[in-house]
Amino acid sequence: MITAHINGIRIAYEDTGGSGATVLLVMGTGSPARVWEVHQIPALKAAGFRVISMNNRGIPPTDECPGGFTMDDMVNDVIGLIDHLGCEDVTLIGTSLGARIVTETALARPDLLSRVIALAAHARLEPVQQAMTRGEIALADYGNPPPPDYRAAVMALQYLSPATLRNEDQARDWLDMFAFDDGRISAGHRAQLQISQVLSDRRSAYRDISVPMLIIGFADDAAIPPRLSREVADVVPGAEYVEIADAGHFGYLEQPAEANRLIIDYLKRPLATARVRKMPAVTMV
């Protein structure tokens, strides 16, 4: 990855080049940008877009900033990278924590953006998600992760659709992947979790967003239930909402063909149609 000094830290990013419109991908909590390389980056490149992905602060080789940071810091990192690259009319795509980052960026600097796509968007967390976040922070402080098989099973239940888990071969593959690392939560990952712990209800603020938005919910998402994504669509003027069936929190990896179709169709739509009016919520089944 390329590194640039932005906002006093090193930000690592990947730029595919190309002459098409620029799409900047922003990942969720604890995850590196390379997750996008499995499905989304190839599809976007094939569709003719210039694709840039970044490691958020907290995720090496971007600086971890173990002393902590804020949502404003993460938003300013996105803005700083756009300025560093000299991009105009950028589309932001983010998932989970990344969805919050791109939504907040739309609120802060609409002049930089053409549109935003937020996967597993949310303006607040409910008690169960708040408790999970507190628990993950406590695990980070404890320093001893749960046994790999147990941790992998918990992650499968938290992040995957029952439709995926019913396929025993797929379930085994996911369990093997989840058990691959040692399960320790780094200082940078912990700092990202801390941001979720202090999240206030942002629904009122999001009424001032002027950038066209597509919000994608995942029907079986236990980490960010789709009702929270629909809440964002309900308050952002002109936002569209679609929901992917048989998809959990990692729905863009479980149902990549459908996720990529929705993303690319929205990006190729004439921009004026995304700005005209509040679109009704639509559920993909």
Q: Are residues 146 and 17 in the same domain?
A: no
Extract the tokens encoding 65.
Answer: 């900033």
Is 189 known to be catalytic? no
Of 187, 210, 234, the position where a domain reaches its end is 187
283 in any annotated domain: no
- Residue written as tokens 């002049």? 111
Question: How far apart, in Å, are the Cα atoms of 234 and each of 91, 203, 213?
Answer: 21, 9, 11
Rounded Cα gap, residues 182 and 168, in angstroms: 24
Q: How far is CA 196 from CA 54, 81, 135, 166, in A?
A: 20, 23, 12, 31
* Same domain membership, residue 209 and residue 105: yes
The full length of the chain comes to 285
Any catalytic annotation for residue 249? yes
Q: Cα separation of 140 and 21, whole Å? A: 40
Beta carbons of 120 and 249 less than 8 angstroms apart: yes
Secondary structure (DSSP) of 3-55: EEEETTEEEEEEE---SS-EEEEE--TT--GGGGGTTHHHHHHHTT-EEEEEP
Task: Assess whether 104 and 214 both reside in one domain.
Answer: yes
Residues 143 and 13 in one domain: no
Domain housing 209: 2-125+200-275
Domain tally, the chain: 2
Query: Do 236 and 163 belong to one domain?
Result: no
Q: Is residue 193 part of a domain?
A: no
Based on the residue annotation, tell me whether 84 is a catalytic residue of this protein: no
Find the catalytic residue in 122, 189, 221, 229: 221
pTM of the model: 0.93
In a domain, 281, yes or no: no
- Which pLDDT score, from 0 to 100, does residue 280 have? 34
Q: For residues 219 and 271, state if they share a domain.
A: yes
Asked which of 140, 156, 187 is the last residue of a domain, the reply is 187
Q: Is 69 inside any structural domain?
A: yes
Whether residues 20 and 156 share a domain: the answer is no
Tabulate helix, strand, coil % of the chain (nearest 5): 45, 15, 35
Q: Is residue 170 part of a domain?
A: yes
Regions of the chain where pLDDT drops below 50: 273-285
Return the pLDDT at 272: 61
Beta carbons of 51 and 267 less than 8 angstroms apart: no
Give the position of tokens 């993950």.
136
What is residue 278's predicted lDDT score, i.e. its pLDDT?
Answer: 35
- Residue of 31, 53, 77, 96 marked active site: 96
**Structural domain includes residue 256:** yes
Supply the pLDDT for residue 45: 96
Q: Provide the pairing of β-strand 90-95 with 22-26.
A: parallel
Strand order in the sheet with 213-218: 2-6, 9-15, 50-54, 22-26, 90-95, 113-119, 213-218, 240-244
250 and 144 within one domain: no
- Whether residue 254 is contained in a domain is answered as yes
Same domain, 117 and 242: yes
